[in-house]
Amino acid sequence: MRALIRIGAGTLALAVLVAPLPVLACTLNLVSPGTLRNSLDNTVLGSQVNGNTPATVNILLSLLEGPTITVDPPTLVQSPGGYNAGLETREVSYSAASLGLFPGANQAYTTSSTSFATGVLGLVTLTMTLHNRVSNAGGFPPGTYTTRTVVTCHP
């Protein structure tokens, strides 16, 4: 199961794609969209800039073996003309928690793909909070920016 998280025009959305996995490995559901905002100096777009508006995703684990969750850094899939992407740094951070069985996972902002093993047996829902951030010393011309973060659940 793959989830694409898009941040565009200041909004985060989730689309679920079916991948060849064991039946019911996990289900990803967007609970709340996030919002990107500009920093006062116009060098950072992020969900923790001028407020805290992350995306929240519930992950229902239904295998009798704990699947692994992989989170890729965001890619910039839309930007206005005049934007210099050569100067940008794209990062993702997240936290995941459940009641009781899963000790949780936390990842500071990173430009790399990261993974964590759930180690959870049976039906458990993890709540994952995701933040995207794009930094660019050249700034952000007015327009629409869309980032995509891929979250994958695999055995």
Lookup result for tokens 């064991």: 22
d(CA 12, CA 32): 8
pLDDT of residue 1: 42
Please, which pLDDT band fits residue 57 given cuts at 50, 70 and 90?
very high
d(CA 8, CA 76): 9
Per-residue pLDDT tens over the stretch 99-140: 666 778 999 999 999 999 887 666 678 899 999 999 999 999
* 81 three-state secondary structure: coil
List the beta bridge partners of residue 8.
Answer: 11, 146
Between the alpha carbon of residue 39 and those of residues 56, 112, 136, 137, the distances in Å are 22, 23, 11, 12
Residue type, 148: R
Domain extent listing, the chain: 2-154
d(CA 85, CA 141): 11
pLDDT of residue 21: 43
Per-residue pLDDT tens over the stretch 2-53: 444 444 444 444 444 334 445 556 888 889 878 888 999 999 999 999 988 8
Helices (H) then strands (E): counts for the chain: 0, 13
Give yes or no for a contact between 36 and 49, defined as CB atoms under 8 angstroms apart: yes
Nearest to 96 by CA among 62, 123, 132, 60: 60
More confident residue, 150 or 102: 150
pLDDT of residue 49: 94
- Residue 62: both structure tokens together: 């239904």
Strand pairing class (114-117; 146-154): unpaired
pLDDT of residue 105: 92
